[in-house]
Amino acid sequence: GDAEPPVRVAALDALARLWSWLPAGSLWPDQERGVALWKDSLHPPLVRLLDDPVPGVRLAAVKAMAALPVDAIAAPAVARLNDE
């Protein structure tokens, strides 16, 4: 990852907008699975950023998780809201 906190925050802001993105046009089932797998691969690094030493990065990670369309996948951010 990039060592500069502003870069991590900007990437997390872009990621928050990405969760609802789909390519234009109709997709074949294999293409839909490919997009879903790609988005799934972004989740573990996002979870790791919830523990970033920089408060602004942690906040951006929580905001990116709040944009997730599935509550169970966004659940790791809830503990951060409760200071756990």
* pTM of the complete model: 0.82
Residue with tokens 């789909």: 22
State pLDDT tens for residues 21-80. 888 888 888 888 998 899 999 999 999 999 999 999 999 999 999 999 888 888 888 877
| C-alpha closest to that of 12 among 44, 47, 57, 55 | 57
User: What gap in Å lies between CA 40 and CA 46, rounded to an integer?
Assistant: 10
Q: Kindly list the distances between the CA atom of residue 71 and the CA atoms of 8, 67, 68, in Å, as whole numbers in the listed order.
A: 23, 9, 7
Are 46 and 15 in contact, with CB atoms under 8 Å apart? yes
